[in-house]
Amino acid sequence: MNTEARAPLNVDVSPDQLPAIGPDDPAYRVFIDSLDYLPAQDLARVEEAFVFSERCHRGQKRISGEPYITHPLAVAGALAEWKMDAVAIMAALLHDTIEDTGATKEELARRFGKPVANLVEGLSKLDRLEFASQHEAQAENFRKMLLAMARDIRVILIKLTDRLHNMQTLGSMRPDKRRRIARETLEIYAPIANRLGLNTLFRELQDLAFKSIYPHRYDVLERTVKSVRGNRKEMVQKILSSLSEKLAQAGVNAEVFGRQKTLYSIYRKMIEKHLSFSQVLDIYGFRIIVETDAACYLALGALHALYKPLPGKFKDYLAIPKVNGYQSLHTTLIGPYGTPIEIQIRTRDQHRLAQEGVASHWLYKETGKFSDDLHDKTTKWLESLVEMQSMSGDSSEFYELAKVDLFPDEVFVFSPKGKIFTLPRGSTAVDFAYAVHTDIGNRCVAARINRDFAPLRTELQNGDQIEIITAVIPNPNPAWLKFVRSGRTRSKIRHFLRSAHHESSAALGKRLLSSELARYGQRLQDVPEAEWGRILSASGTQAEGQILSQIGTGQRPATDVAVELLGIDPTQALPTAAREPVMINGADGVAVHLSTCCQPIPGDPIVGSLDAKRGLIVHTHDCLRIRRQLGHDAQKWVDVEWAPDINGQFDVRIRVEIRNQRGVLAKISSAIAEAESDIVHISMDDLGGMYTTLFFTLQVRDRKHLARVMRNIRHLPEVSRIARIRESEEKPL
């Protein structure tokens, strides 16, 4: 948990050693006094946990020279401000004992109960594991933290307060380590705090990270803001007075106060909008706290009558709360001297929730539904993280996907039945489809946005109504990964593609192995289970499907697996029959692909090449790209033939040289249509003078169909030459 290096220390310390902090220490007394909300029995258990933690860490010091026990005491003290329960407080006091001392989970469970021990274990770093890189270690620790957090939300609350205290005491560390920890805080921990609605903690973590990453910029900005504060004090007071007076006239009972923007938020605005400090006029905002939701809207109307609102700057998070439970009205007004004034209007309960977020589940349990609703929403979000993790290929992928979903800029969109969906800003119709249901996303083929058809990659705007049109068979497009925004959507698409690739590769591998066994007069279904068991045991795999998938992707030659299954010596036993070619029905699933370099179509002589990532790639036998490779790695090449009953449309490229005359392109298009072919793409190479070369990508059924299309075009008097393109040579139009 802590970022400072210490030597491990055994729990059994000598009784003659004096405690670093005793019962009479002022820091300890302040901590105990802050727990006055706990029953006496729970308070006694917390005191026992402190004594145990102090003994475990006795003799250890932080880099700053302070006794190490000051760290868990500070973390527990921060949790006490949220009025967390005794289990969380004890876990905070003990959170480094498993990781850094001789204490064990079993001992903690025996002394303090299983819930405390489970929390401490969830908070402990991965130990005795080696990683190839710092990024890999960070990704795995992040995965473990979020999964522990999904089991118990208190894990992340303790972790965040632990990180806060570490950030507050970074000064003694080396600058490079300080910056690394600060960047991690800014990228991971601050967004998590924001996602959980812990606004106060979120802002403090941001400012502390900013100070550690850019200390000089922080100091300059801090001094400048202090100087400006004095210059603008009179103006701020004038605005406060006018706001209070106007609200009183409107009969709204409200508390009005100014708030200074954090240094990091000012810095971000300067960077993102390329502004100098003097151009950032709204370094002050104003918050208005009222009693009811209705009073929020009354206050809004009164203030819009006082100062003119800035168009496009009003946001109603009262009617549609943010995903972290935040509720408030936001508006920007043009105040005195043309100064923009940012206003937030909310009730007292909403204000408490905005500041403390999910921690308010413990802090304000008695006040009603706000904290419970947020706790339920947070639980659902954590469940979605667990689902995302189960679909991710590894920790690094999960780390990158989850980071995307931690930044809560949102759009609010509607289903045709009026249900509201909250999505990350920049989300597309595909993101919406997966938000409705995974199966809807997998079968998505088109979308209507506000009743009009729109591309699936269209970015959604607030208030859009989206209707998804689906196909019968699920078939997510890998190209979607280039534009979807949600990490959850991305993980679901990747999971489907991985599963589909495995299944398709296994089916192809089964065909290849059957063909190879047939050479020895054997059938795959007749192979005894014992032989499969022997191969699985020798290879360390768990299922026949894995072996077949490896054959289908070229990782294991079908010949080798066949002789292993039959238990024969390949140098002695000769096959009794020729190898049967694999039948090609076109692009079969995700394991058979028609090469884009030579674009084979039915009727072309073809050859197949096994690729570990894509499966079986089909080329024409005279493809220039493979001609030099045919003599190498013979086991990668597969005899393939077109299936006799193949039916479909196949892309093919042709080059047409024409004499420049008006209407010639229309004539060629008409000739192509008369031959029952479709134009997929067209480009042009203007040679200048009398001739132009046109490049078409057409869809045809087979080689005979292509010949008919080319014959129709060749008969046009304006066409001087026509040929099929074997390698890509189109130029942009």
Distance separating alpha carbons of residues 546 and 551, to the nearest angstrom:
9
List b or e across 304-337, with b for residues whose CB sees 16 or more CB atoms inside 10 angstroms: eebbebeeeeeebbbeebbbbbbbbbbbbbebee
Pairing of strands 452-454, 444-449: antiparallel
CB neighbours of residue 703 within 10 Å: 16
Name residues whose C-beta falls within 8 Å of residue 310's C-beta, 6 or more positions apart in sequence: 331, 332, 333, 334, 340
Q: What is the sign of the dihedral through the CA atoms of 421, 422, 427 and 430?
A: negative
Residue 215's Cβ-count burial label (10 Å; 0-12, 13-18, 19+) is middle
> Token digits for 297?
């809207």
Residue with tokens 């920007």: 332
**Are 559 and 516 spatial neighbours (Cβ–Cβ below 8 Å)?**
yes
Q: Would you say how long the chain is, in residues?
A: 733
CB neighbours of residue 690 within 10 Å: 10
Q: What is the CA radius of gyration of the chain?
A: 34
Distance separating alpha carbons of residues 159 and 142, to the nearest angstrom:
11
Distance separating alpha carbons of residues 700 and 123, to the nearest angstrom:
61
Strand order of the β-sheet with 452-454 is 452-454, 444-449, 466-470
- Give catalytic residue positions: 99-100
Distance separating alpha carbons of residues 710 and 265, to the nearest angstrom:
64
At 454, which helix (H) or strand (E)?
strand 452-454
Q: Calculate the alpha carbon distances from 731 to 596, 654, 696, 710, 721 in Å.
A: 16, 13, 11, 20, 18
> Token digits for 542?
């768990």
521 φ, ψ to 5°? 70, 25
Distance separating alpha carbons of residues 637 and 286, to the nearest angstrom:
71
**Are 484 and 493 spatial neighbours (Cβ–Cβ below 8 Å)?**
yes
List the one residue out of 432, 436, 433 whose CA is nearest residue 423: 432
Residue with tokens 């420049």: 660
List the one residue out of 393, 622, 611, 646 whose CA is nearest residue 508: 611
Partners of 699 in the β-ladder:
651, 678
In angstroms, how far apart are the furthest CA atoms of the chain? 108
AA letter at 551: I
DSSP one-letter code for 579: P
Pairing of strands 606-611, 615-620: antiparallel
Q: What is the sign of the dihedral through the CA atoms of 87, 92, 93 and 95?
A: positive
Residue with tokens 């709360």: 321
Distance separating alpha carbons of residues 670 and 210, to the nearest angstrom:
65
> Token digits for 660?
């420049």
**Are 117 and 50 spatial neighbours (Cβ–Cβ below 8 Å)?**
no
Please state the separation of Cα 376 from the chain's center in Å.
Answer: 21
